[in-house]
């Protein structure tokens, strides 16, 4: 039973994008467009090539920013300021999700590969701000992105969580490999589990419904 599997958890770590709001919001369409425009200007290349660079770095490094910093010395503050200026008007508060998260015992934090400011804006748009004690953005991990182990270790150190008593909720299965290895309970949302996703303990397409089973 899910409730028994999460009974030991006292810290709940939530990813942000496509986790605390449904993928149908399609915020990444805006983000991808702004990233591509930034890369075009930064590297002096065309749109098609910039699109290829963006996707390649995301696959190889976990975030496009990590690849840009590694290969081109990109200023992360400038990158984040440009790419995260997003229109959140398609989002709305979700009372059902709010109630399910609020009922969880213990502490709740957000760990996102995006900017902390972006995380705070999304939580406000979803009506979830006061439910989380902290939002850890990419700048809080020394610009180390998930799925790199250092990203999770930064958050664990800063928040004081014990991975053996924590849960990680994510929409990207790659980002559950390290939490699983550290002893965290893992939950994949809004995606189907693949045959090789052995690091995923549980999965659901209804986050609020799943969480409501745990209390």
Q: Is the pLDDT of residue 64 over 90?
A: yes
Q: What stretch of H or E contains 117? A: helix 116-126
pLDDT band at 136 (very low <50, low <70, confident <90, very high): very high
Quick one: pLDDT band at residue 141, thresholds 50, 70, 90?
very high
Q: By the 8 A CB rule, do 17 and 146 touch?
A: no
31 or 15: which carries more pLDDT confidence? 15
Using CA atoms, how far residue 141 sits from 7, 9, 44, 147, in Å, is: 28, 23, 29, 12
Q: Can you give the pTM of this predicted structure? A: 0.92
Domains of the chain: 2-22+94-212 (3.40.50.1000), 27-83 (1.10.150.450)
Q: Could you report the per-residue pLDDT of 103-130, keeping only the tens digit for each?
A: 999 999 999 999 999 999 999 999 999 9
Name the 3-class secondary structure at 140: helix
Q: Per-residue pLDDT averaged across 23-41, rounded?
A: 93
d(C-alpha 176, C-alpha 201), whole Å: 9
**62 pLDDT above the threshold of 90:** no
Residue 94 phi, psi dihedral angles, 5° rounding: -120, 100
| N-term to C-term CA, the chain | 12
């Amino acid at each position: 039973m899910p409730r028994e599997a999460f009974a030991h958890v006292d810290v709940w770590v939530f990813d942000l994008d496509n986790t605390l709001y449904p993928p149908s919001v399609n915020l990444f369409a805006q983000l991808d467009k702004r990233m591509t425009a930034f890369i075009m200007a930064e590297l002096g290349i065309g749109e098609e090539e910039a699109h290829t660079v963006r996707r390649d770095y995301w696959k190889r490094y976990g975030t496009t920013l990590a690849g840009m910093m590694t290969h081109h010395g990109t200023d992360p503050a400038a990158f984040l300021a440009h790419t995260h200026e997003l229109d959140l008007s398609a989002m709305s508060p979700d009372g059902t999700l709010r109630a399910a998260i609020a009922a969880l015992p213990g502490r709740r934090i957000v760990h996102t590969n995006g900017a902390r400011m972006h995380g705070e804006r999304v939580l406000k748009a979803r009506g979830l701000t006061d439910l989380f004690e902290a939002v850890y953005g990419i700048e809080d991990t020394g610009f180390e992105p998930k799925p790199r182990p250092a990203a999770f270790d930064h958050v664990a150190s800063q928040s004081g969580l014990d991975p053996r008593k924590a849960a990680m909720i994510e929409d990207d299965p790659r980002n559950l490999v390290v939490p699983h290895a550290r002893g965290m309970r893992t939950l994949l949302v809004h995606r189907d589990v693949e045959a090789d996703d052995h690091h995923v303990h549980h999965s659901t397409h209804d986050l609020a419904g799943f969480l409501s089973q745990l209390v």
